[in-house]
Structure 1
Amino acid sequence: MNSDYQNFIPAKAIPFLQFLIEEHNFTLRIVNKRATKHGDFRQLPDGRFQITVNNNLNKYQFLLTLVHEIAHHVTHQKFGRVQPHGQEWKAVFQHIMLPFLNPEIYPKEILPYLANYLKNPKASTDADVNLSLALKGNVAETGKSFIFEIPFGSFFVYKNIIYERGNKRRTRFECLNMSNKKVYLFNQNVEIEVYDK
């Protein structure tokens, strides 16, 4: 097990994580950013287990993603094949995440959102808008903006498609796809590029 991961997480989290890593047998690979996921867990053809985590995540996102994937591994060891984000995984994830719910590990700006998310964790932290924004420090990637930051009627690019930002519903924005003229709903934590005509 390489210790490169220690550079990617808060220092106070290292002892807890070291314990989890020694307790459960898997290979950890830190990989380049993937558009569709922050991390994953899988069994390799030779029977070994592997967890991958994207290298572009900040230390708070990285730690949460790594524990999320370790929870998949532990769930697999304890219960075999079950729903990927079902009750078994949720219980394991909540249990192994508890030591990390600590102001010496996660800043007080993130802790309440993280605690709330862990009451009923979803498949992706990005599904929890408040937690997602808190983990990013309310700062979008360089060259991008959050959809809520651009004015009504603005054009933006998301996955190489131009949209026009419309009204905000309760929690999401209606956006018109300029190619097929259909309206799509975007969470407010979606990062987009402003389109300059």
Structure 2
Amino acid sequence: MDTEYKNYIPQKAIPFLEFLINEHNFTLKIVNQRATKHGDFRSLPNGKFQITVNNNLNKYQFLLTLVHEIAHHVTHQKFGVVQAHGKEWKAIFQHLMLPFLNPNIYPNEILPHLANYLKNPKASTDSDVNLSLALRGNVAENGKHFIFDIPLNELFIFKNTIYKRGNKRRTRYECLNMSNKKVYLFNQNVEVKLYKDL
């Protein structure tokens, strides 16, 4: 097993994670950033198992993503083919995350959001706006802005498309796609580029 992962997670999480890695047989690969996912688990044709995690995640995101994927592996071992993020996976993920819900591992700015998310974990941590922002320290990637920082009626670019920021609904923002003139709802933790910055 590649021990490089130890550089990507909080120091105090290493013993717990080593136990999980030794307990469950898989190959861990740290890979370049993918736009659509932070990590994945797959069963390989040779009967072995592989987990990949993106190398651009901070240590708190990396740890959460790795445990999320280990939970898929354990679910697969225990139950075979079940719904990807169904009740079996949720229960295992919650159980595996318990030792990490610790102020020595996750800072107090993240812990309450993480505990809340784990009551009913979703497929992606990004779907939990408060946790997603806390994991990133409320700082957008270099050269980008969160939707909530974009002024009303300002143009921005998301996935090579120009949008205009509209009004906030309860939790999301209405944004007008300037090409097809349709309105789309954006979570407030989506990172975009300001059009005028380009």
TM-score, structure 1 normalization: 0.99
Q: Which residue number corresponds to residue 153 of structure 1?
A: 153
Q: Which string of whole-angstrom CA distances, capped at 9 and with x for unpartnered residues, describes residues 123-182 of structure 1? A: 000000000000000000000000000110000000000000000000000000000000
Q: Which residue of 2 aligns with 1:176?
A: 176
Q: For residue 52 of structure 1, what is the aligned residue in structure 2? A: 52
What is the alpha-carbon distance in structure 1 between the residues aligned to residue 77 and residue 142 of structure 2?
40
Q: In structure 1, what is the equivalent of residue 143 of structure 2?
A: 143
Is residue 11 from structure 1 mapped to residue 11 from structure 2 by the alignment? yes
Distance 2:35 2:17 in 1: 26
Q: Deviations over 1:81-112 (max 9, x none)?
A: 00000000000000000000000000000000
Number of equivalenced pairs = 197
Give per-residue Cα distances to partners, 1:41-93, cap 9 Å, x unaligned.
00111111000000000000000000000000000000000000000000000
| SS state at 2:117 partner | helix
- One-letter code aligned to 1:37: K
Alignment of 1:83-98 (within 5 A): 83-98=83-98
Name 1:131's counterpart in structure 2. Answer: 131
Q: In the TM superposition, what are the counterparts of 1:97-112 in structure 2 within 5 Å?
A: 97-112=97-112
**Unaligned regions of 5+ residues in structure 2, if any?**
none
Separation in 2, partners of 1:177, 1:110:
33
Residue identity in the other structure for 2:181: K
Q: What is the SS of the residue equivalent to 1:185?
A: strand
- Correspondence list, 1:38-77, <5 A: 38-77=38-77
4+ runs deviating over 2 angstroms: none
